[in-house]
A = this chain, B = another copy of it.
Amino acid sequence: MTRLNWGMIGGGEGSQIGPAHRMGAQADGNFVLAAGALDHDAQRGRDYAQRLGVAADRAYGNWQEMLAGEKGRDDRIDLVTVATPNSTHFEITKSFLEAGFNVLCEKPMTMTVEEGEEIVKIAKSSGKICAVNYCYSAYPMVREMRQMVANGEIGKVRVIVANFSHGHHGDAGDADNPRVRWRYDPAMAGVSGQFADCGIHAMHMASFIAGDEVKEVSADFASTIASRELEDDAMVNFRMEGGTVGRLWTSSVAIGRQHGFEIQVFGETGGLRWHAEQPNQVYYTPLGGRTQIMEKGEGGLSDEAGRLSRVAIAHPEGFPMAVANIYVDLAAAIRGQAHGAFPTATDGLRSMAAVHYCVESARSGGAWVDARPALLR
Residues on B with beta carbons closer than 8 Å to the beta carbon of A154: 255
Residues on B with beta carbons closer than 8 Å to the beta carbon of A254: 159, 161, 264, 266, 271
Q: Is A85 positioned at the interface, with any CB of B under 8 Å from its CB?
A: no
Q: A310-B19, A314-B258 are in contact. Are A292 and B295 (CB under 8 A)?
A: no
List A218-260 residues whose CB lies under 8 Å from chain B: 218, 220, 222, 224-225, 233, 235, 237, 245, 247, 249, 251, 253-260
B249 touches A161 (CB 8 A): yes
Set B172, B255, B272: member contacting A271, Cβ < 8 A? B255
Q: Is A115 positioned at the interface, with any CB of B under 8 Å from its CB?
A: no
Q: Is A298 positioned at the interface, with any CB of B under 8 Å from its CB?
A: yes
Q: Is A1 positioned at the interface, with any CB of B under 8 Å from its CB?
A: yes
A249 touches B247 (CB 8 A): yes
For residue A209, give the distance in angstroms from its CB to the closest CB of chain B. 15
Q: Is A13 positioned at the interface, with any CB of B under 8 Å from its CB?
A: no
List A122-167 residues whose CB lies under 8 Å from chain B: 154, 158-159, 161, 166-167
Q: A249-B161, A321-B318 are in contact. Are A53 and B27 (CB under 8 A)?
A: no
List A94-109 residues whose CB lies under 8 Å from chain B: none
Q: How far is the CA of A280 from the CA of B224 in the complex (A)?
A: 30
B16 touches A23 (CB 8 A): no
Q: Is A307 positioned at the interface, with any CB of B under 8 Å from its CB?
A: no
Count of this chain's copies in the oligomeric assembly: 4
Set B260, B273, B278, B299: member contacting A316, Cβ < 8 A? B278
Q: A288-B171, A291-B293, A367-B366 are in contact. Are A224 and B245 (CB under 8 A)?
A: yes
Q: Is A65 positioned at the interface, with any CB of B under 8 Å from its CB?
A: no
Residues on B with beta carbons closer than 8 Å to the beta carbon of A186: none
> Which A positions have Cβ atoms within 8 angstroms of B?
1-3, 16, 19-20, 22-23, 26-29, 33, 51-53, 154, 158-159, 161, 166-168, 170-172, 218, 220, 222, 224-225, 233, 235, 237, 245, 247, 249, 251, 253-260, 264, 266-273, 276-280, 283-288, 290-295, 298-299, 310-321, 324, 365-368
Name 5 extra pairs, CB < 8 A, besides A19-B28, A170-B268, A278-B316. Answer: A27-B27, A158-B253, A170-B287, A278-B278, A365-B367
